[in-house]
Amino acid sequence: MLPPGRLQPRRWESHPWHLLSYLPRPPPCALSRLCQQPHPPPHSPSPSPSEAQPLSPTLTLWTSEQGAVLEMVRTLAGEFGMQRGVEVAVVPKDADGLRVDMIAHELAGEPLPDLIWGNQEDLAGLLHDGFLQPVGPASAGGVFVRAAVEGATYAGSLWGQPLTVQDFLLLLFHRPMVAQPPSTTDALITLSRTVEEAEEPGREAAERYGLVAAWDEARWFLVWVNGFGGSITTPDGATPTLTTTQVISSFNLLRELAVAAPPGPQKGRDWFGSGQVALAIDGPWALSGYRSLSPTLDLGIAPLPQVPSTGLMAASAMGGSYLMLGRDVEGELLVRARALARFLVLPDVQVRLALASGRLPALRSALKAPAITSDPVLGPAVLQAETASGLPPTPALRCVFQGINAFLPRLLEGETSHEEVAAAMQHEAERCLGEEP
């Protein structure tokens, strides 16, 4: 229990805007050996020549990608195979079943994949279960977007090669109500309140609101922490840091912005889609939903604004997709796997993959490609890519998100000091971390 007088957490409940808001606690292990090894095991020694099995000419790649992205994975695997004379067998897996299938194959003594293509949640789970080997030191990730590197870094090693950057947030605006999107947070505060107070013929002022967002979710809150140059963990992702001046400043900005908010996130989302709210902070995944609410919606897309006191752009925490090496891959198969990894980060391949997936390329140099910068959705996201933080596969990150989500509602109620809320979040994160195995 928390000490007497300390804020009690409000337990987080998901709502329709929730997307990857925290790294999940891994499910109970099916294998006692896996449960006993929360960290990846050391690489097993190579078998003696008498024990070695003939190498298969085929690389097996499991992927949790779906739809058009899965088709692009197959296309790229085929192109690599034609160039190198190596067949790559792409095996699609359900997004929720990839990790379970890995455990099932291990139990049954069946071969595990040589490569896995998945997102940062896949990586965190497979790393916890000991199914991966590092692709290299984290220091070798300088050619990639920082957020993508952070999302695959644990104990100084990179556990997946970044392929794309995704799950970013943008500033959406209703063009008839906003002639020019705000470029700073000060302008965003002013504009959102001005729009809310303005009158429009045939519509009551009370039906208009300035800004909608998932106000009480950690994903959205991190936008402002990044804008103030802060972080919610130490650089290694191992320790919560929720009582810093940057976090406190982010609380103040959040409260100022929430003044122009509608009464509920889902209702606000519907109102934005119908043109009754001027601005929204949301991701590309929401665009089709907004447009379905009104076929005449004139929607603009802009980068998140700059924080004047730091000169930094606000930026969401970005996730990624990764190519991961199976734990037991070695010898000629490892050589082939690394060759495929190099192929997938060629600049032209990165651009094709980004356009097919609606995500940013993970290769920093590919962010400058005209096809990316001119894209109406990816172009604004490029501007915040270098500021964005990642989601390291560490227990501390999950616990920090739990602490933030538990107490953000208390902050928004306005009855508790910012410092007290920060201390309560930190305590909750530390309590959670203390329960980790």
pLDDT, tens only, 339-376: 999 999 999 999 999 999 999 999 999 999 999 999 99
pLDDT at 39: 44
pLDDT at 275: 82
Distance from C-alpha of 373 to C-alpha of 382, rounded to nearest angstrom = 7
pLDDT, tens only, 163-179: 999 999 999 999 999 99
The number of beta carbons lying within 10 Å of the beta carbon of residue 331 is 10
Confidence of residue 197 (pLDDT cuts 50, 70, 90): low
Output the six-digit token pair for 89. 């067998």
Torsion sign across C-alpha atoms 86, 63, 384, 313: negative
Whether the CB-CB separation of 168 and 388 falls below 8 Å is answered with yes
More confident residue, 12 or 228: 228
Distance from C-alpha of 206 to C-alpha of 214, rounded to nearest angstrom = 21
pLDDT at 387: 87
More confident residue, 33 or 213: 213
- Average pLDDT of the residues in 214-240: 95
Lowest mean pLDDT of 1-10, 81-90, 110-119, name the range.
Answer: 1-10
Q: What is the mean pLDDT of the chain?
A: 86
- pTM of this prediction? 0.84
Distance from C-alpha of 177 to C-alpha of 201, rounded to nearest angstrom = 13
pLDDT, tens only, 281-332: 999 999 988 888 877 889 999 999 999 999 999 999 999 999 999 999 999 9
- Give the chain's domains with CATH numbers: 32-42+56-167+318-391 (3.40.190.10), 170-317+396-434 (3.40.190.10)
Q: Phi and psi dihedrals of 168, rounded to 5?
A: -85, 155
- Average pLDDT of the residues in 115-122: 96
3-state secondary structure the chain: CCCCCCCCCCCCCCCCCCCCCCCCCCCCCCCHHHHCCCCCCCCCCCCCCCCCCCCCCEEEEEECCCHHHHHHHHHHHHHHHHHHCCEEEEEECCCCCHHHHHHHHHHHCCCCCCEEEEEHHHHHHHHHHCCEECCEEHHHHCCECHHHHHCCEECCEECCEEEEEECCCEEEEECCCCCCCCCEHHHHHHHHHHHHHCCECCECHHHCEEEECCCCCHHHHHHHHHHCCCCCECCCCCCECCCCHHHHHHHHHHHHHHCCCCCCHHHHHHHHHCCCEEEEEECHHHHHHHHHHCCCCCEEEECCCEECCCCEECCCCCEEEEEEEECCCCHHHHHHHHHHHHHHCCHHHHHHHHHHHCCEECEHHHHHCHHHHCCCCHHHHHHHHCCCCCCCCCHHHHHHHHHHHHHHHHHHHCCCCHHHHHHHHHHHHHHHHHCCC
* Distance between start and end Cα atoms, the chain: 19
Confidence of residue 202 (pLDDT cuts 50, 70, 90): low
pLDDT at 27: 39
Adjacent-strand bridge partners of 171: 281, 302
pLDDT at 56: 45
- Give which of 320, 319, 341 is closest to 135, Cα–Cα: 341
Residue with tokens 């306005």: 414
Residue with tokens 């790559």: 88
Across 387-417, b (16+ Cβ under 10 Å) vs e yields: bbbbbbbbbbbbbbbbbbbbbbebbbeeeee
Output the six-digit token pair for 144. 């990639």
- Average pLDDT of the residues in 63-85: 96
- Average pLDDT of the residues in 115-123: 96
